Homo-oligomer: A and B are copies of this chain.
Amino acid sequence: MDITFINVCDFIGTLAFAISGIRLASAKHFDLFGAYVVGLTTAIGGGTMRDVMLGLSPFWMTNSFYLICSAIALVWVIIFRKLLVRQNNTWFLFDTIGLALFTVTGMEKTLQAGFPFWTAIIMGSITGAGGGVLRDVFINEVPLIFRKEIYALACVIGGFGYWICARYIVPPLYCSIICASLVILMRFLAVRYRLHLPVLKAEDESKKAQN
């Protein structure tokens, strides 16, 4: 197997996603097994949801690469625990590369399955951000992407970029590159300028809305 640029991005993205899951699990005093499962879920959860909805076999079921990546992430966290905070910028970079790649992969797989573009944008966003939602459900927290700075929205914006380019007959490869670049750009701007969406104000009696 030739190692391509995509493979490298996939590796560092999976690593970064798994490490984010393992770190949060360790903050909640999960044991090694639990931390591994949360890390793995963060890395493969989004793509699994996408594949199940597309009616495909989840991608990791025929490729042990992602399980091994998550194991490397676990070993990394154990060994470099005290250095992880200092590596935060690196992990942010890797996480962003992963987010961009996963969004593009999710979109392409959905378009290949014959679904419309807006479905592809949703599937791209689920591929990128869905694992983090599952991770937060497992550690029993409100999913961060619903409350904090722009994360899943970067996937949506990247997806719209793909769509617009494809409309103007830009070749698919360039659409993908533009989509990934937009995701990365949005994430950097969001973190650099602390961009976030407005929070909906609560009504006093909003509890009554629940059925």
- A residues whose Cβ falls under 8 Å from a Cβ of B: 19-20, 22-35, 37-38, 48, 52-55, 57-58, 61-62, 64, 67, 77-78, 81-82, 84-85, 88, 91-92, 95, 115-116, 118-119, 122, 132-133, 137-148, 150-153, 196-211
Contact = CB atoms under 8 A, between A and B. Distances in A.
Q: Is the interface of A mostly helix, strand, loop or mixed?
A: helix
A150 B31 CA distance: 10
Given A202-B26, A209-B84, A211-B151, A57 B55 contact: yes
A200 B31 contact: yes
A51 to B, nearest CB: 8
Which of A57, A78, A92 has most chain B Cβ within 10 Å?
Answer: A57
Contact of A209 (B24, B35, B202): B24
Contact of A33 (B58, B84, B197, B203): B197
A144 B211 contact: yes
Which of A82, A151, A196, A197 has most chain B Cβ within 10 Å?
Answer: A197
11 contacts: A25-B146, A32-B197, A32-B198, A35-B200, A52-B52, A54-B57, A61-B115, A64-B118, A88-B209, A140-B140, A140-B142
A30 B201 contact: no
Sort A-B residue pairs by CB-CB distance and give the 10 closest, nearest first: A34-B146, A26-B200, A23-B209, A27-B206, A31-B197, A32-B197, A27-B202, A140-B142, A30-B146, A61-B119
Which of A48, A153, A203, A207 has most chain B Cβ within 10 Å?
Answer: A203
Contact of A53 (B57, B119, B210): B57
A203 B29 CA distance: 11
Nearest to A144: B210
B146 A37 contact: yes
Contacts of A92: 211
Contact of A28 (B29, B142, B203): B142
A146 B153 contact: no
A118 B70 CA distance: 14
